[in-house]
């Protein structure tokens, strides 16, 4: 097992090619659920979980599709797998860990349409990762998402308290500009060469 | 038919990106050159119109409980079609848009229109709605890519005009490279939405007087 490769995939997914701030995958929940810290954290962990599971399962689905010569059905198959997976996770949590289910609430079904999840499945195929690399990429991609959304939520909470931007910038535009400045900071990692 | 009203809603008053704030990811990610913006905009418009027509046709057959899954399958089918067509005939665009073509499946605009409009209306208005909303999305993409490309690398219409080179307006080394990077996507869209809010605010005040 090539540990350095796994480490470089992990570091790449968390910092250098952060899913939200560099690759623009998963912006909708990033902007939508980052008003409060608790929900941001809940969403972050749910995304880590689903992204890890989805990349593992989609790896086998893709193997099956390729074996059957149905590579072009990738997108349809992946989105169905993800939708079913999210539904399954929802039912499982509702039964086994009701407290977590309550905390995640409406954000759980919303993960289906989070493009980071479908994105990670497609990128795994594009980068020709094997099973372990895929799962590592999925989980660390989710950790990158958690990092970005938690940082962003803490900035936004403070922003609401202290600042008063011009009227037309209130709400969404100022959030986008804040995210832009964060992306600038994450851009600083892009020169980082690992192993 | 109130085609004019739907067109106005799609382009301005109910613009999917600027007012409804849907489909942010692709808007910010791919608007680095005019050809990308146009390619993405046209693809989404076609998929939106087709999926709206189909979902409107099937609206009485699809059971209410599994409607979201059914919509996603319909949309994914059309996305795959467009993806394969682009790879066959417009390889440059397919390559530069990369993973964002299959990701149109989870573009919230399409699902939102299916849920909010096509599932409640007849075929013709749904088709018109799809085209109008798609045009609104394309408009935003084109405006964003023109701004980012001009300020970032000093060209206009690269990939489309002047044999794919684009028209150079000022030397590349003078451009604010930042705007072609991810930062530029967030900043440009933020400013654009602020401008729209300012205009809405102003017209509301004028109407009030």
pLDDT tens digits, one per residue of B107-153: 888 888 888 888 888 888 899 989 999 999 999 999 998 888 888 87
Residue range A92-107: mean pLDDT, rounded: 76
Residue of B nearest to A18 (CA): B182
Which uninterrupted H or E stretch holds B155? strand B155-156
More confident residue, A147 or B159: A147
* Cross-chain CB nearest to B24 (options A28, A167, A180): A28
DSSP reduced 3-state for B4: helix
- Other beta carbons within 10 angstroms of residue B205's beta carbon come to 9
Residue B182 has pLDDT above 60, yes or no: yes
Q: Are B146 and B33 in contact (CB under 8 A)?
A: no
Q: What percent of chain B has pLDDT over 70?
A: 94
* Cross-chain CB nearest to B24 (options A27, A73, A123): A27
* Cross-chain CB nearest to A76 (options B76, B178, B190): B76
Contact A177 B186 (CB under 8 A): yes
Q: How confident is the model at residue B162 (pLDDT cuts 50, 70, 90)?
A: low
Q: How many residues does chain A have?
A: 195
Q: How confident is the model at residue A194 (pLDDT cuts 50, 70, 90)?
A: low
How close does chain A come to B95, measured CA to CA in Å?
Answer: 12
Contacts of B110 in chain A (CB under 8 A): none
How close does chain A come to B177, measured CA to CA in Å?
Answer: 12
Residue of A nearest to B28 (CA): A24
Q: Which residues does B101 contact at the CB level (< 8 Å), separation at least 6? A: B43, B79, B82, B83, B86, B94
Is the Cα dihedral B92, A79, A136, A46 positive or negative? positive
Contact A118 B183 (CB under 8 A): no
Contact A118 B69 (CB under 8 A): no
How close does chain B come to A176, measured CA to CA in Å?
Answer: 5
């Amino acid at each position: 097992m090539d540990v350095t490769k796994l480490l470089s995939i992990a570091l790449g997914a968390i910092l250098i090619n952060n899913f939200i701030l560099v690759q623009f995958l998963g912006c909708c929940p990033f902007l939508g659920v980052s008003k409060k810290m608790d929900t941001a954290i809940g969403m972050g962990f749910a995304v880590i979980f689903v992204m890890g599971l989805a990349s593992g399962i989609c790896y086998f689905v893709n193997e099956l599709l390729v074996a059957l010569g149905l590579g072009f059905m990738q997108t349809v198959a992946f989105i169905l797998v993800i939708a079913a997976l999210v539904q399954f996770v929802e039912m499982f949590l509702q039964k086994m860990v009701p407290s977590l289910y309550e905390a995640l609430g409406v954000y759980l079904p919303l993960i289906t349409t989070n493009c980071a999840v479908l994105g990670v499945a497609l990128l795994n195929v594009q980068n020709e990762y094997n099973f372990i690399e895929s799962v590592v990429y999925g989980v660390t991609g989710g950790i990158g998402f958690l990092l970005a959304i938690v940082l962003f939520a803490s900035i936004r909470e403070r922003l609401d308290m202290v600042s008063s931007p011009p009227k037309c910038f209130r709400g969404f535009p100022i959030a986008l500009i804040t995210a832009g400045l964060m992306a600038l900071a994450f851009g600083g990692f892009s020169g980082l060469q690992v192993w | 038919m109130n085609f004019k009203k739907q067109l106005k809603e799609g382009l301005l008053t109910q613009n999917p990106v600027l007012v409804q704030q849907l489909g942010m990811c692709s808007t910010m990610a791919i608007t680095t050159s005019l050809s990308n913006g146009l390619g993405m905009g046209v693809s989404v418009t076609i998929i939106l119109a087709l999926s709206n027509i189909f979902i409107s046709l099937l609206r009485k057959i699809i059971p209410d409980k599994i409607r979201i899954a059914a919509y996603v399958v319909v949309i994914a089918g059309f996305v795959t079609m467009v993806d394969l067509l682009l790879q066959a005939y417009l390889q440059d665009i397919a390559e530069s848009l990369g993973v964002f073509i299959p990701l149109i499946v989870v573009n919230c605009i399409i699902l939102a229109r299916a849920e909010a409009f096509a599932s409640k209306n007849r075929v013709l208005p749904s088709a018109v709605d799809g085209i109008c909303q798609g045009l609104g999305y394309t408009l935003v993409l084109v405006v964003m890519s023109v701004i980012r490309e001009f300020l970032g690398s000093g060209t206009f219409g690269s990939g489309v005009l002047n044999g794919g080179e684009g028209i150079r307006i000022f030397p590349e080394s003078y451009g604010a490279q930042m705007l072609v990077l991810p930062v530029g996507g967030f900043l440009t869209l933020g400013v654009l939405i602020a401008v729209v809010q300012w205009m809405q605010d102003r017209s509301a005040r004028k109407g009030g007087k």
